[in-house]
Chain A
Amino acid sequence: MTAILRLESRKLLRGTLTLTGLLVLLSAFFLVVFPSIQEEAALFEEIYPEYMLELLGIEELHTIEGFLGGYIFPFVWILLAGIYFAYVSAGLISRDVRTRRMDLTLSNPVSRESVVVQKIAALWVPLVALNVGMFAALLAGVVLLGESIDPVSLTMVHALGVPYLLVCAGIGIVFSVVFDRVETAQAAALGLVFVCWLVDGLSHMNPDFEWVGDLTPSRYYDPTAILVHEEYALGDAGILLAGFLVLLGVAILVFTRRDI
């Protein structure tokens, strides 16, 4: 039974291409300004105390690894791509329920569990496109700038970002089965991912509240550590994957019990 997976994958194609194009373009803009801020970055690092930079997740900003990990990934991947995944998955169920498309879908011999799983599985389309597109664009950009980057750590920073995006999708799918209105589900999912990103950043500022940041998904994905120090936190990725599975389980639990 893959009819729903096929249909949803096809539906995600257009949006995925647009998103990948936009994010690649945005990354290209970042890379273009890299040479000019490279010098300032060195100055920046001298002025600010070490702990401050570390807390902001900014290290070695004058190197291409530090720049990618401190600027491009937090913004393009963690914030924008995270919001996209939350937003899209928040519409997966709620829109079908709203338009009564779900009535027809569920008149087929397909379980509600299967509907949710197939819909989420269709996110392979943006996951693959975004990874391939960003990897190629960043590699090409780095080479064009006359810099070099370890392809392994560049691969890892993409790969370990996947569980993070899945958690964002998990947040979206939970809202998608809870809320009746598509707009509400999408706004709530988008808003929560944004707030998490903000809380994670702000919680660094105050040691008393640092524990709050532990509740945010972006705490378990550190592009700077991966790119600059080649630290591949597989345990953290495991936590994110487990979080995604829990969210998916909650969504299925809610969806199989509710009226549509």
Chain B
Amino acid sequence: MCAQTETLDTEPDRGAAPIRLDGLTKRYGDVTANDAVSFDVGAGEIFGYLGPNGAGKTTTIRLLLGLIKPTSGSAEVLGADIRDRRALTDVKADIGYLPDSLGFEERLTGRQVLDYFARMRGDERREELLELFRPPLDKRVETYSHGNKRMLGIVQTFMHDPDLVILDEPTSGLDPLKQDRMHLFLEEERDAGKTVFFSSHVLSEVQRVCDRVGIIRDGALVALEGVDDLLERSGKDVRVQLAAPVDEERFATAEMIDVEAVDRTVRFTYTGEPAALLDHLVQFEIEDVDIGDPQLDEIFKHYYGNDAEE
């Protein structure tokens, strides 16, 4: 009944993989939150873990941290088997974790929160990080905006200079400027040798910062590939507003998928070269064009479609 996802992209030196999942499965009654998920995250890469909300991303992360126990299968984090509590506790000194919902002690100030975590695992990079991300340290966490909480979380995640960081929707709540700063920061950290596990439901974000992507849907890993391949395959979401209704046959090209023409508006997913699309469009009388990233669901529909259902 489970989709057996084959292990793709095996790292040459398997012993060095900071994260390795092997048929990791978590069931809650009839609900399979993670279905035999297998993949490796190599040292020094930013691995994107992409999927719509509710796909099972957070379940995987909570399994990796030993917060929940797998129904079957296993995983290793920094060489520690997640079923070996003692070994996993020990390696957590070298892990940074940014959860999707940040459970800070609301009554403490930001500074006190950082002091608390510093006592458990150190804070040698605290000052450096606070120059990049600046939550109001002297205010109580309960007065924080979503973005400030997130920044406090980012400082907390990185301040003990971990080898591996696990980020669950790390930029949610951050304004675009801070998101950019975060992306840049992650790239620098990666270049400095850190391994980043980056869970997100935002395709463009994953495309921008990640080296490799695993896509999860309904608890199962449906794709594992380099970001460039994903980009190539995902195409663009295009909406064209024409001056007059047009014949769909004449308008559509081989690179267009799922063409929908309603009156003067045509929507489609474009999988070819952008320049070719623009060349094609100028033949028509265009009022407006909107080119954007496709929704994740769209990508699933087009490229992974029914494979995951089997």
- Taking beta carbons and an 8 Å cutoff, which residues of A are in contact with B? 1-3, 6-7, 11, 96, 99-104, 106-112, 256, 259-260
Contact = CB atoms under 8 A, between A and B. Distances in A.
Nearest to A98: B103
Q: Which of A3, A11, A99, A103 has the most CB of B within 10 A?
A: A103
B191 interface: no
Given A100-B99, A102-B103, A111 B69 contact: no
Contacts, number: 67
Interface stretch (B35-43, B87-95, B216-224): B87-95
A111 B86 contact: yes
A108 B67 CA distance: 12
A161 to B, nearest CB: 30
A7 B106 CA distance: 12
Nearest to B62: A103
Contacts of A100: 99, 101, 103
Nearest to B67: A260
Interface in B106-146: 107-108, 116-117, 119-121
B68 interface: yes
A96 B106 CA distance: 12
A111 B103 CA distance: 18
Contact of A109 (B62, B89, B102): B89
Given A7-B105, A101-B103, A107 B85 contact: no
A110 B67 contact: no
A104 B68 contact: no
Given A3-B120, A108-B92, A259-B67, 12 more contacts: A2-B119, A3-B116, A7-B105, A11-B105, A100-B103, A104-B104, A106-B65, A108-B121, A109-B92, A109-B93, A110-B120, A260-B68
Contacts of B97: 103-104, 107
B113 to A, nearest CB: 10
A96 B107 CA distance: 14
Contacts of A108: 92, 117, 120-121
Contacts of A1: 120
A1 B119 CA distance: 8
B271 to A, nearest CB: 40
Contacts of A110: 89, 92, 120
A256 B83 CA distance: 12
B85 A256 contact: yes
Q: For chain B, give the interface size range.
A: 20 to 34
B66 interface: yes
A89 to B, nearest CB: 18
Nearest to A7: B116
Contact of B103 (A3, A104, A109): A104
A198 to B, nearest CB: 35
A37 to B, nearest CB: 43
Given A108-B120, A259-B67, A96 B85 contact: no
29 contacts: A1-B120, A3-B116, A3-B117, A3-B119, A3-B120, A11-B105, A11-B107, A96-B103, A99-B103, A100-B101, A100-B103, A102-B67, A102-B103, A104-B99, A104-B104, A106-B65, A106-B66, A106-B67, A107-B65, A108-B117, A108-B120, A108-B121, A109-B90, A109-B91, A111-B85, A112-B85, A256-B85, A259-B68, A260-B67
Contacts of B92: 107-110
A259 B28 CA distance: 11
A224 B92 CA distance: 52
Nearest to B95: A107
A101 to B, nearest CB: 3
Nearest to A101: B103
A1 B117 CA distance: 11
The 9 tightest CB contacts between A and B, nearest first, are A101-B103, A3-B119, A107-B97, A259-B68, A100-B103, A108-B120, A109-B93, A109-B92, A3-B120
Contacts of B90: 109
B107 to A, nearest CB: 8
A260 B65 CA distance: 11
A111 B107 CA distance: 25
Nearest to A112: B85
A36 to B, nearest CB: 44
A6 B89 CA distance: 20
A103 B119 contact: no
Contact of B104 (A2, A101, A109, A112): A101
Q: Which of B85, B99, B105, B156 has the most CB of A within 10 A?
A: B105
Contacts of B105: 7, 11, 101
A7 B187 CA distance: 35
Nearest to B117: A108
A7 B105 CA distance: 9
Contacts of A99: 103
Nearest to B153: A104
Nearest to B26: A259
Contacts of A2: 119
